């Protein structure tokens, strides 16, 4: 539990856990919605929690719609905004099941005669209430993963309605988390339940009704998670309070602003917590909290100290930590990791790297800027998350060790991982498959994306690039704590910002690297004193990337107007090296000539 946080009652509310009418004892919940009542005997959670036999998860594949995120917003979801959502989860480890309640403030951006939420159809929807009226079972339907709910009265643009949804069932079990996601039901070394969610690829609809699209966010989320006593639920945002319930459970109430949909998570275990406060260079204090399993305190303390150096690096390079009013949070998980907003999942087992950092923790923490603050407009632009975060690793190492050679060595290692089989940005109207190994897109968004950033650094210069990244990430050149809201971005947004800051047309660069699979090829021809360099690219525009050469120890930068250049050597047998410092992402070809 966070330092200084005490259990306290939270005001009364009118919506319930379970499906019976509100009666019996109360669980604490959300300030606005007051107290959640629990029907006495509605569900025998106390008995289930002490059961030693878990129900087996049926081998049921995901519905096609549920298996995909960022499907086109071609229904009511396009015109729905969610300024406020309250979620309440009861997690039953013994039966590997959950029951949930959600209260949604739905605001119409355009006229609406119905609303819709994405939700895995394996869940039983047990109650739908719109504007205070409980709908009959035949008035709503979720046959395919799109929960359709009619409205008695149409909503005009700008109008809002309150919607309650209750659901329950056994959520999809992750097949290979975090890459093939879902619920992870595991056991801590002491025998206690150890539970996590990781749903980036498949989406938030794997365990709660949501709008499963990257362009949609929630302005404010209140989330109550009820777990058996002895377990801790670490969540997004700031801890509002905890409550010991009368049925052998504990409620954890978290409040978060602007969470991304796949960033909403449940992290549950017999956690202890390491706490430290960080004094930011921007004048504010940031809470660092690491929820770890018993026995791992030393490792957690070491990583908390390491995270202070991450904050030093990111804040000095790009701008303030975006969620400083909530926390920097990490929870130890039974899977490798995931960038859940303000509560990153960590499963790297505290392994110390010879390079002096934990690559997994560094990568997930980078996502607080490049995924949670800057969120791609659609999964097609996922390289903005993964490629930039991947590039942060060698960039951080060079900064940490004050040695550009460490940076160069990591970039050389990254270069060997690039596949170039499909474009980095999939065409609009298509959804790339992260797990398609033959296509390799799920690899290239990391390594090729990082290399594109590396080449941009050479093209426009570090100062311009980092300033452009600040504007891209915050939507302003001067972000300040307390005045930061997340932004959705596309690859083209990045191009426009860079063109504004450089005054140059960079369409040729973006076309070649993002919308073509094949890399540009550089032909080098020597003929006596003559040296000819020529770019060949499948992109329509001429590739005008400058090229560094070293001639007899002298470094030259050769501009490549219209994709080619001609220069002279001091002598026919001069020593020549082209792109000696590996600045440019290209297909490697042998040099030719006399």
Q: 258 phi and psi, to 5 degrees?
A: 55, 40
How far apart are alpha carbons 507 and 495 in whole angstroms? 7
pLDDT of residue 125: 98
Confidence of residue 429 (pLDDT cuts 50, 70, 90): confident
Confidence of residue 116 (pLDDT cuts 50, 70, 90): very high
% the chain with pLDDT above 90 = 87
Whether residue 157 is predicted with pLDDT greater than 60 in this model: the reply is yes
* DSSP codes of every residue in 27-90: E---TTT-PEEE-TTSS-HHHHHH-S-PPPPP--PPPTTTT-SS----SGGGGEEEEEEEEEEE
pLDDT of residue 41: 30
Across 412-418, average pLDDT: 97
Annotated binding residue 566? no
Residue 132: both structure tokens together: 């205070």
Across 49-53, average pLDDT: 32
Whether residue 110 is predicted with pLDDT greater than 70 in this model: the reply is yes
pLDDT of residue 353: 85
Question: Can you give the pTM of this predicted structure?
Answer: 0.89
pLDDT of residue 153: 96
Mean pLDDT estimate for the chain: 90
Tens digits of residue pLDDT in 287-320: 999 999 999 999 999 999 999 999 999 999 999 9
Q: How many CB atoms within 10 Å of residue 168?
A: 18
Annotated binding residue 363? yes
Q: What is the dihedral of CA 188, 191, 193, 198, to 10 degrees?
A: 30
Tens digits of residue pLDDT in 470-505: 999 999 999 999 999 999 999 999 999 999 999 999
CA 104 to chain CA centroid, Å, is: 23
Confidence of residue 367 (pLDDT cuts 50, 70, 90): very high
Residues paired with 134 in a beta bridge:
129
Annotated binding residue 561? no
Domain annotation for the chain: domains and CATH numbers:
16-263 (2.60.40.1730), 271-353 (3.30.2010.30), 373-517 (1.10.390.10), 521-593 (2.60.40.1910)
Tens digits of residue pLDDT in 249-280: 999 999 999 999 999 999 999 999 999 999 99
How far apart are alpha carbons 567 and 373 in whole angstroms? 46
pLDDT of residue 60: 81
pLDDT of residue 48: 35
Whether residue 467 is predicted with pLDDT greater than 60 in this model: the reply is yes
pLDDT of residue 59: 52
Between 406 and 24, the higher pLDDT residue: 406
pLDDT of residue 589: 59
pLDDT of residue 428: 86
Confidence of residue 590 (pLDDT cuts 50, 70, 90): low
* DSSP codes of every residue in 278-316: EE-TTS-EEEEEEEE-TT-HHHHHHHHHHHHHHHHHHHH
Angle at 337 between CA 485 and CA 349, to 5 degrees: 135
Across 563-567, average pLDDT: 98
pLDDT of residue 179: 95
Confidence of residue 368 (pLDDT cuts 50, 70, 90): very high
Contacts of 568 (CB under 8 A, 6+ apart): 529, 530, 531
Tens digits of residue pLDDT in 214-244: 999 999 999 999 999 999 999 999 999 999 9
How far apart are alpha carbons 328 and 321 in whole angstroms? 9
């Amino acid at each position: 539990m966070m330092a200084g946080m005490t259990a306290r009652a939270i005001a009364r509310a009118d919506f319930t856990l379970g499906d019976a009418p509100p009666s019996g004892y109360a669980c604490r919940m959300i300030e606005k919605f007051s107290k959640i009542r629990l029907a006495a005997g509605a569900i025998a959670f106390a008995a289930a929690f002490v059961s030693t036999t878990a129900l087996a998860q049926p081998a049921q594949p995901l519905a096609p719609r549920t298996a995909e995120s960022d499907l086109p917003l071609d229904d009511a979801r396009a015109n729905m905004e969610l300024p406020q959502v309250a979620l309440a989860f009861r997690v039953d480890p013994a039966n590997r099941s959950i029951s949930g309640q959600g209260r949604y403030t739905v605001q119409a951006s355009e006229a609406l005669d119905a609303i819709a939420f994405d939700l895995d159809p394996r869940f039983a929807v047990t109650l739908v209430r719109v504007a205070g009226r409980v709908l009959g079972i035949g008035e709503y339907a979720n046959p395919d993963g799109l929960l359709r709910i009619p409205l008695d009265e149409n909503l005009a643009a700008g109008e809002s309605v309150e919607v309650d949804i209750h659901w329950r069932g056994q959520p999809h079990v992750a097949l290979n988390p975090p890459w093939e996601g879902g619920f992870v039901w595991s056991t801590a070394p002491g025998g206690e339940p150890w539970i996590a969610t990781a749903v980036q690829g498949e989406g938030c609809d794997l365990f709660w009704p949501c709008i499963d699209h990257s362009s949609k966010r929630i302005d404010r989320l209140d989330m109550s998670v009820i777990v058996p006593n002895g377990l801790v639920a670490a969540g997004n945002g700031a801890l509002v309070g905890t409550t010991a319930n009368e049925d052998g459970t504990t409620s954890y109430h978290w409040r978060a602003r602007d969470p991304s949909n796949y960033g909403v998570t449940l992290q549950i275990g017999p956690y202890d917590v390491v706490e430290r406060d960080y004094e930011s260079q921007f004048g504010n204090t940031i809470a660092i909290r690491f929820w770890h399993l018993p026995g791992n305190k030393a490792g957690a303390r070491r990583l908390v100290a390491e995270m202070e150096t991450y904050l030093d690096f990111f804040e000095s390079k790009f701008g303030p930590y975006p969620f400083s009013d909530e926390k920097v949070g990490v929870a130890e998980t039974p899977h490798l990791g995931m960038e859940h907003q303000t509560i990153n999942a960590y499963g790297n087992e505290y392994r110390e790297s010879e390079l002096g950092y934990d690559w997994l923790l560094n990568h997930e923490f980078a996502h607080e800027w490049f995924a949670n603050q800057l969120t791609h407009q659609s999964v097609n632009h996922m390289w903005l998350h993964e490629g930039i975060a991947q590039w942060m690793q060698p960039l951080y190492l060079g900064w940490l060790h004050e040695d550009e050679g460490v940076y160069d060595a990591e970039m050389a290692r990254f270069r060997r991982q690039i596949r170039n089989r499909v474009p980095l940005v999939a065409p609009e109207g298509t959804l790339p498959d992260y797990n398609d190994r033959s296509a390799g897109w799920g690899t290239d968004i990391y390594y090729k994306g990082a290399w594109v950033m590396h080449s941009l650094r050479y093209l426009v210069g570090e100062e311009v690039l980092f300033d452009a990244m600040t504007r891209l990430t915050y939507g302003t050149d001067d972000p300040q704590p307390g005045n930061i809201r997340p932004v959705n971005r596309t690859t083209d947004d990045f191009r426009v910002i860079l063109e504004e800051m450089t005054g140059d047309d960079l369409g040729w660069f973006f076309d070649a690297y993002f919308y073509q699979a094949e890399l540009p090829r550089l032909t080098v021809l020597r003929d006596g004193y003559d040296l000819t360099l020529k770019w060949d690219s499948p992109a329509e525009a001429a590739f005008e990337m400058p090229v560094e050469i070293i001639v007899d120890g002298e470094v030259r930068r050769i501009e490549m107007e219209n994709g080619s250049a001609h220069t002279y050597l001091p002598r026919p047998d001069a020593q020549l090296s082209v792109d000696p410092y590996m600045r440019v992402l290209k297909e490697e070809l042998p040099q030719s000539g006399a």
